[in-house]
Structures are given as structure tokens and as C-alpha cells.
């Protein structure tokens, strides 16, 4: 189970709207200037997106909770997002290479088409077939106080 700390920001008819608590060390890490993750974080900014989860623990606004997502769901999501479109890219490209040997532009076009065809298939499967597996669940209330650091 992949676990993350979150804080309840509101309650809506049986659901708790939670926001993840940032635990990234990107600003304090000694590799900050040479790290790709830190650079992407600075470029995109650190935005918290609220998440709606079923309120099974009778939570109130301001409660700290631990939410979790099974590793199996995380692996399945990774396969849908990365593996399926790449499989389309390679299979269309290899098939076009077999039929149109030596015509690189046509082979490249077919590979890109394979990638673009499998993207909506991947999105459809994620939204309609596996949606329930990708929803995190509240595991428990977190009794530990929120830890914050100040830079002096």
C-alpha cells in the first residue's frame, strides 16, 4: 500500500475533500541544483489538487489522515499510461517497417499514429474499466501533528 499524509479541507455529503501534505525534500536536498525532479518541480510549481474520498472514518474539517493506494493499482496505472501507448508506437512502426521497407517517413508516421491511437484507448480504460481501483482510500486518522519547518 502506498501511503500519503493528507488534511481534510471540507466535508461534502459522505465524502471528505483532502489535500496532500507536501513531504518533498527538493528544497532542502544537497542535490537540489542537479536533480531533474527538483528542476521540474520548480518549473511547474508545487500545486496541491484536492481529492474527494469516501468518508468512512467520520472525519471533520482539519483532521489529518493517511490515505492509501494499493501497489497493484499504481502498477496498473503505470502500464496503462506508459506501456500501452509505447506498445502502439512500436507495433505500428514495426508493422509499417515490414510492409514499407526503406520508407522512413512512412514508418515514422505509422509509429506516431500507433501512439496516438492507443492514447485514447488508454484513457478510456483508465476512466471506465479501472476507475474504482485508482481511487485512494482513507486508511486511518493520523494522530501525529503536522510537521512544518522554517528556514532561518
pLDDT band at 85 (very low <50, low <70, confident <90, very high): very high
Average the pLDDT over each of 1-5, 7-11, 38-42, 71-75 and give the range with the smallest value: 38-42
What is the pLDDT at residue 20? Answer: 82
Residues 6+ apart with CB under 8 A from 107: 93, 96, 97, 100
What is the rounded average pLDDT for all residues in the chain?
Answer: 81
Reported as type and span, the H/E element at residue 66 is: strand 64-69
CB of 57 closer than 8 Å to CB of 65: yes
CA distance 52 to 8: 10
Cell (9 digits) for 106: 512512412
Residues 6-31 have a mean pLDDT of: 75
What is the pLDDT at residue 115? Answer: 97
Q: What are 66's strand-pairing partners? A: 5, 140
* Residue 80 scores a pLDDT above 80: yes
Reported as type and span, the H/E element at residue 40 is: helix 36-44
Taking only the tens place, the pLDDT of each residue in 87-111 is: 999 999 999 999 999 899 999 999 9
For the chain, domain boundaries: 2-141
The better pLDDT of the pair 4, 29 is held by 4
Taking only the tens place, the pLDDT of each residue in 49-59 is: 788 888 888 88
Q: How far is CA 25 from the centre of its chain?
A: 19
Q: What is the DSSP string of 108-122?
A: HHHHHHHHHHHHHHH
Amino acid at each position: 500500500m502506498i501511503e500519503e499524509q493528507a488534511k481534510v479541507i471540507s466535508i461534502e455529503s459522505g465524502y471528505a475533500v483532502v489535500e496532500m501534505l507536501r513531504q518533498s525534500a527538493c528544497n532542502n536536498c544537497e542535490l537540489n541544483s542537479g536533480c531533474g525532479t527538483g528542476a521540474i518541480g520548480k518549473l511547474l510549481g508545487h500545486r496541491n489538487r484536492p481529492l474527494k474520498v469516501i468518508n468512512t472514518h467520520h472525519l471533520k474539517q482539519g483532521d489529518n489522515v493517511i490515505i492509501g493506494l494499493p501497489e497493484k493499482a499504481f502498477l496498473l496505472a503505470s502500464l496503462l499510461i506508459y506501456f500501452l501507448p509505447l506498445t502502439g508506437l512500436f507495433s505500428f512502426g514495426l508493422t509499417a517497417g515490414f510492409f514499407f521497407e526503406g520508407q522512413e517517413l512512412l514508418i515514422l508516421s505509422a509509429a506516431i499514429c500507433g501512439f496516438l491511437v492507443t492514447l485514447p484507448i488508454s484513457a478510456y480504460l483508465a476512466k471506465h474499466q479501472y476507475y474504482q481501483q485508482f481511487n485512494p482510500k482513507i486508511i486511518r486518522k493520523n494522530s501525529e501533528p503536522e510537521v512544518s519547518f522554517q528556514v532561518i
